[in-house]
Structure 1
Amino acid sequence: MEKIFNGRIWKLPDDVDTDTIIPGRRGTLPSIREMGKYCLEHLRPEFASQVEPGDIIVAGKNFGCGSSREQAPAVFAVNGVKCIIAKSFARIFFRNGFNTGILLIECDGIQDACEEGDIVTVEVNKCVKVNGKEFPIKKVPDNLFEIVDDGGLVNTVKKRNALSKNKEVK
C-alpha cells in the first residue's frame, strides 16, 4: 500500500454497528462477494452499487460496535474500501479490519471538516488532509501495516510460511 493516497469520502455517523454494516440475515450468503452487495443496505442502500475502489469511509465514534462478525470489515474490502477513518473503533472490528487488509485510522476532527464526496489525502503515520485542513494521526504499528500491505492476515501468514520454507531449503 502506498504511504500517501487519496480517496473519495463516504461519511457515516457514530455507533455504526456490525448489523448495520452487514445484516445478520445476509451472513448466510455463500460468499463475501455476495454479502458485499448488501453492505450498509439499511443505512445507505446506494452504497454497494456506487462505492468505487479506493473510496474511504469517514465515520464517528465507536465504529463497528456490536457483534464480532468478521464479515463486517470484509464486505467493505470486497467493495474496494481501502481505508476507514473514525473517531474510534470497536476493538474487535479494529482487529478484524486490519486482518482483512483495511487500513484503520483513528482521528478526531476530520468528521466536522468534510462532507460526503470530498477527497481526503492520507499520509500514513503522519496525517489526513481534507479541504485545506490537516489532522495528525497515530502511527500504525509495523506489524499491522504489514498485514494491510499484504492484503490481509491470510496473505501475511502465507508470505511468512513461504519465507520460512525457503530458509529451510537453503
Structure 2
Amino acid sequence: MRFSGKVWRYGHNVDTDVIIPARYLNTADMKELAAHAMEDIDPEFAGRVQQGDIIVAGKNFGCGSSREHAPGALKAAGVACVVAESFARIFYRNAINIGLPLIELGEGEINIKAGDMLEVDLAAGVAKNANTGESFTVPALPGFIQEIAQAGGLVSYTKKKLEK
C-alpha cells in the first residue's frame, strides 16, 4: 500500500472527542461525521482535507472513549493513514476494523511539519518527506492487516474470504 498526501500535524493525546465531538454522534452517517472531524482542534480541517491526506501526531493518538466513529470520520474525510508516535489501543483496533492504516513510529522526533507532502510505502516500510527529501523507516504492517486495509475494512475482508 502506498500513500502520498499533505500532512496535517497534531500533538500528543489527541482524543476521540476531538477527532469527532460527541455532540455529532446522533448519526452514524460517516460523511456527515467527516464534515465535523477535528473541528474542535482544527476548525479548518474538515473543509480543507483532501482525499489521500495524512495525519501525523505525537503520543497516544485516539485516546479517550472507544467510539468507532473516530477512525471512521477520518477515513470518510479522506485521510489515507495516520502516522503517530503511539496510538490508544482501542483506536488502533477500531482503525484496523474499518480499514484505516496506522503507522506507529515509537518515541522520537518526527521531522514532519503541517503542509509537508509525505509519501508512505507500507509494503516496503519507508516514508519520505517530499519537502525535505528526508526518508525514514516505518514499521511495515503485518500482511493480514494490509489485506484488511486494502479490502476496505474487516467486514469487506471477511466477505471476500467467505466468497472463496
Question: Given the two structures, how large is their TM-score scaled by the length of structure 2?
Answer: 0.92
What is the number of equivalent residue pairs in this alignment?
161
Question: Gaps (5+ residues) in structure 2?
Answer: none
Structure with the greater alpha carbon radius of gyration: 1
By how many angstroms is 1:111 displaced? 5.7
Is the 1:128–1:135 Cα contact (8 Å) retained in structure 2? yes
By how many angstroms is 1:140 displaced? 0.6
Superposition pairs of residues 19-30 of structure 1, within 5 angstroms:
19-30=17-28
Alpha-carbon separation, structure 1, partners of 2:107 and 2:114: 15
**Distance change in 2, residues 1:30/1:73 (3 Å):** closer
Bigger fraction of residues in helix: 1
Alpha-carbon separation, structure 1, partners of 2:55 and 2:107: 14
Deviation string for 1:26-65 (max 9, x for gaps)?
A: 1112512111111011101111110000000001110000
Identity of aligned residues (%): 43
Alpha-carbon separation, structure 2, partners of 1:100 and 1:86: 18
RMSD value, Cα: 1.5
Alpha-carbon separation, structure 1, partners of 2:2 and 2:148: 17
By how many angstroms is 1:5 displaced? 2.9
Alpha-carbon separation, structure 2, partners of 1:66 and 1:55: 24
Answering whether residue 76 of structure 2 is matched by residue 75 of structure 1, we say no
Alpha-carbon separation, structure 2, partners of 1:53 and 1:31: 18
Q: 1:95 aligns with which of 80, 93, 96?
A: 93
Alpha-carbon separation, structure 1, partners of 2:79 and 2:11: 17
Is the 1:110–1:135 Cα contact (8 Å) retained in structure 2? no
Is the 2:20–2:38 Cα contact (8 Å) retained in structure 1? yes
Matching residue's letter, 2:128: K
Alpha-carbon separation, structure 2, partners of 1:145 and 1:115: 26
Question: Given the two structures, how large is their TM-score scaled by the length of structure 1?
Answer: 0.89
Question: Gaps (5+ residues) in structure 1?
Answer: 164-170
